A and B are shown apart, each in its own frame.
Chain A
Amino acid sequence: MPKTWRSTAVIVAITLLTFVFVPYIYNNQFLLFNMMMYMALALGLNIIYGYTGYLPFGYVGFFGAGAYGGALAITFLHWSPYLAVIVGGGAAVLVGMILIPLFRLSGAYFSIANLAAAEALYYIVANPHLESITQGPYGISLPQVYDPNGAYWTMLFILLFALVLSGFIRGSRFGLALAAIRENPLSASMSGVNVVKLRSISWLLSALVAGLAGATFGWYISVFYPETVFGLGIGVFTIVFVLFGGIGTVLGPIVGTLILYGAYNYIGISTPQYFQLVYGLIIVLLVLFLPNGLVSLAKRRGIDVP
């Protein structure tokens, strides 16, 4: 068993214990929920960005697709929310499949095209002409399945799934091939790696995680508007957390989210009137003085980060 898998098991155990027991001493379940959600999203984004080097600016599109996929399954099929979460994941994977041709693009072109796709999806969902399906701008309301505890445990499960997935990828030959693709796609194919297939798989896995998280988020808040689940802020935050933590690792996205999202909430409570200013300054300073992410601190000291 690779070393990464063992370390991942430890991270999984700590995460599990944390989110099972912290609710007993800390009451704001929603904050914990959001924390788990952003961690899962950060890990999901890391699967595509950290492992293959493609940065999707419109990652939130999968999140929104998941939220709407789940909500539609509940509204029209009257499925249980647990099944609906899976439908949400499926909806995101479907969107991911449609977007696979974007991999013909490179670098910033891919990123912006993906952003455009997320925006287009948002405008489709919010269009009043589709009111009979998506409720258009009037938003989704799911009081019949409201169950914050059920959604909380589901999100924990999704986070653990994302963790296990990330750890597995990192320790496996699949992960090695993804790293090769990130470093040099041509050399990767000259090593016998089916670049298109592996990249697509990691893209769809990444979409799946976001879709599952989105559907669970929609279930948890139970009333939402298109801008709630397609807001660019969610995607930007996720990217910032991953980059801050350190890409391409299992621990980086988790720690990055923990610290930056933690700081975000702390500042929001302690100095609400200077919220945005303080948060912005922290980010600027971190980038200038810690440019390669938190993980680089450990790596510089010769510690191998899982």
Chain B
Amino acid sequence: MSPEAPILEVEGLKKHFGGLKALDGVSFSIHPGEILGLAGPNGSGKTTCINAISGVFRVDGGQIRYLGQPIQHLPAYRRVRHGINRTFQVPRPFLGLTVLENVMVAATYRGGRNVNPRHILEDIGLAEHADRPARSLNSSQQKMLGLARALATHPRLLLVDEIGAGLNPVELSSMAERLRSYAEQGMALLVVEHLMDFLDRVTDRLLVMDAGNTLFSGKLQQATEDSRVIEAFLGG
């Protein structure tokens, strides 16, 4: 456990769509430099959780504290400017803009520190495509572009939504390494993932969700032995 104060504290988060309770009182916290894995069957509320923290919608109950301050009333762009960002499960690049412009939008509107979008592209491995329209990238390149866009805002908390899906083993391990290196630089990460193997390589702290509730919290190895978790994954 990190001795510092947590960067993010989530307490009793609630969100429902019509009759469906997508989040039903989820609580957890993340510290700077820490990676928290978030797993669970389809529809268990993982992405909803990311949406709630990043401000895609307002929650119906509970509190989200970032650096000790409640932020659940802030619009998404304000949270981004405070240092929260995310990637999308299905990449959502600005298809009609060039790769460079995609990153530039984020770099310009982040406010504060100057960021060179080309450096970020080099780091992520898309520099050679800088002037191509984002439309022409393949889907894993678009995923990388989504990550680049998020990085351009210099996040202190990064929410990663199923970035492993669709990557080949080589890409997977380099992605895992990449995420770990961000954490080593002090970034806090919440990594939503289906692939347990990938999670295993990224972190050892895990949260398992089912039907909007926290099912399990603890070490990955323990999770695989937990009967509720096994049931949720196999029986759900």
A residues near B, CB below 8 A? 173, 176-177, 179-180, 182-184, 186-196
List the 9 closest A-B pairs by CB distance, nearest first.
A183-B94, A191-B106, A192-B109, A192-B80, A189-B76, A180-B105, A187-B92, A191-B105, A173-B108
> Which of B41-49, B96-104, B180-188 interfaces with chain A?
B96-104
Q: What distance in Å separates the Cβ of B108 from its nearest Cβ neighbour in chain A?
A: 5
Q: What distance in Å separates the Cβ of A183 from its nearest Cβ neighbour in chain B?
A: 4
Q: Is the CB of B104 within 8 A of A176?
A: yes
Q: Is the CB of A190 within 8 A of B150?
A: yes
A176 contact set on B, CB distance < 8 A: 97, 101, 104-105, 108
**A189-B77 CB under 8 A given contacts A179-B94, A180-B97, A183-B97:** yes
Query: Bound state CA distance, A194 and B93, in angstroms?
Result: 17
Q: Is the CB of B149 within 8 A of A191?
A: yes
Contact of B77 among A179, A184, A193 (CB under 8 A): A193
Q: Is the CB of A184 within 8 A of B93?
A: yes
Contact of A192 among B77, B93, B101, B146 (CB under 8 A): B77
A173 contact set on B, CB distance < 8 A: 108-109
Q: What distance in Å separates the Cβ of A254 from its nearest Cβ neighbour in chain B?
A: 21
Q: Which residue of A lies closest to B104 (CB)?
A: A176
A186 contact set on B, CB distance < 8 A: 56, 88, 92
Task: Please name 7 further chain A to chain B contacts, defined as beta carbons within 8 Å, in addition to the given A190-B54, A192-B81, sorted by A numbering.
Answer: A176-B97, A176-B108, A180-B97, A183-B95, A187-B93, A190-B85, A195-B77
Q: What distance in Å separates the Cβ of B54 from its nearest Cβ neighbour in chain A?
A: 7
Query: Bound state CA distance, A193 and B79, in angstroms?
Result: 11
- Decide yes or no whether B110 CB sits under 8 A from chain A: yes
A183 contact set on B, CB distance < 8 A: 93-97
Q: Is the CB of A193 within 8 A of B105?
A: yes
Query: Bound state CA distance, A103 and B122, in angstroms?
Result: 37
- Decide yes or no whether B75 CB sits under 8 A from chain A: yes
**A191-B80 CB under 8 A given contacts A173-B109, A183-B97:** yes
Total A-B residue pairs with C-beta atoms closer than 8 Å? 76
- B47-91 near A? 1/0 per residue, CB < 8 Å: 000000011100000000000000000011100110001101000
- Decide yes or no whether B153 CB sits under 8 A from chain A: yes
Query: Bound state CA distance, A192 and B107, in angstroms?
Result: 9
B106 contact set on A, CB distance < 8 A: 190-192
Contact of B86 among A177, A190, A192, A195 (CB under 8 A): A190
A195 contact set on B, CB distance < 8 A: 77
B166 contact set on A, CB distance < 8 A: none
- Decide yes or no whether B111 CB sits under 8 A from chain A: yes
User: 15 A-B Cβ contacts within 8 A?
Assistant: A176-B101, A177-B108, A177-B109, A183-B97, A186-B92, A187-B93, A187-B149, A189-B77, A189-B80, A191-B109, A191-B149, A192-B81, A193-B77, A194-B75, A194-B77
Contact of B97 among A179, A193, A194, A196 (CB under 8 A): A179
B81 contact set on A, CB distance < 8 A: 192
Query: Bound state CA distance, A182 and B96, in angstroms?
Result: 9
Q: Which residue of A lies closest to B55 (CB)?
A: A189
**A177-B92 CB under 8 A given contacts A189-B75, A189-B80, A192-B77:** no
Q: What distance in Å separates the Cβ of B132 from its nearest Cβ neighbour in chain A?
A: 14
**A187-B110 CB under 8 A given contacts A176-B104, A192-B153, A193-B105:** no
B108 contact set on A, CB distance < 8 A: 173, 176-177
Q: Which residue of A lies closest to B159 (CB)?
A: A190
Q: What distance in Å separates the Cβ of A168 from its nearest Cβ neighbour in chain B?
A: 16
Interface centre among B86, B106, B146, B150 (most CB of A within 10 A): B106
Query: Bound state CA distance, A67 and B86, in angstroms?
Result: 47
Query: Bound state CA distance, A182 and B97, in angstroms?
Result: 10
Q: What distance in Å separates the Cβ of B9 from its nearest Cβ neighbour in chain A?
A: 22
B111 contact set on A, CB distance < 8 A: 192
